[in-house]
Amino acid sequence: MFDFNRRYFSELTLERRADGQLWARANGDERAVRVHRCFPWSEPGRYLSLRDADDVEFALVRALDDLEEGSRRALEGAIAEAGFVLEVSRIEEVREEVEIRTWKVETRQGRRSFQTRLDDWPTEVPGGGIVIRDVAGDLYHVRAPDALDAKSRRWLWAFVD
């Protein structure tokens, strides 16, 4: 794994290629990567894990400001496109089917429907709130569970582990 802040590694460079993917290059190795935000939630531009197609971490970017301008712009674009944290404001319905739970929610980004495995439970996170990870790896954050309407709270608390 390449850790950008360790001195014995060469510089990490990132670019968006014609295929639309984010590519990372360090120490003569390069590969297509996806962005996974690590905690804390309160610092969205810090601790960004760049993972390859096998979900193996290739690099950890501690802060966007650590990157040169072109790489920073490429990573910011990937973060915006990933939309990996959707803010849930209401839970309309949760249905259980064979090995899958289907959620219908209202988010700041609009109405969404997503699926989780039956054995994947929403989890409370440091800094507050609850996170639900869907089968595609997207994250749904309920910032203030107690501020949800009564129906949404009932749906949520029925599934919190």
Tell me: pLDDT of 1 over 90: no
Tell me: pLDDT of 2 over 60: no
What's 145's DSSP letter? G
Instruction: Give the percent of the chain with pLDDT over 90.
Output: 43
Q: pLDDT value at position 39? A: 66
Please state the rounded mean pLDDT for residues 10-21. 85
Residue pair 118/127 in contact (Cβ under 8 Å)? The answer is: no
Tell me: pLDDT of 125 over 90: no
Q: How many whole angstroms separate alpha carbon 159 and alpha carbon 161?
A: 6
Please state the rounded mean pLDDT for residues 110-130. 88
Tell me the per-residue pLDDT of 45-97, one tens digit each, with 9 for 90 and over: 788 889 998 889 999 998 888 899 999 989 988 876 665 678 899 999 999 99
**Whose structure tokens read 């404001």?**
89
Instruction: Convert 48-68 to b/e letters by CB count within 10 Å (16 or more is b).
Output: bbbbeeeeeebbbbeebeebe
Q: pLDDT value at position 8? A: 38
Q: How many whole angstroms separate alpha carbon 150 and alpha carbon 156?
A: 10
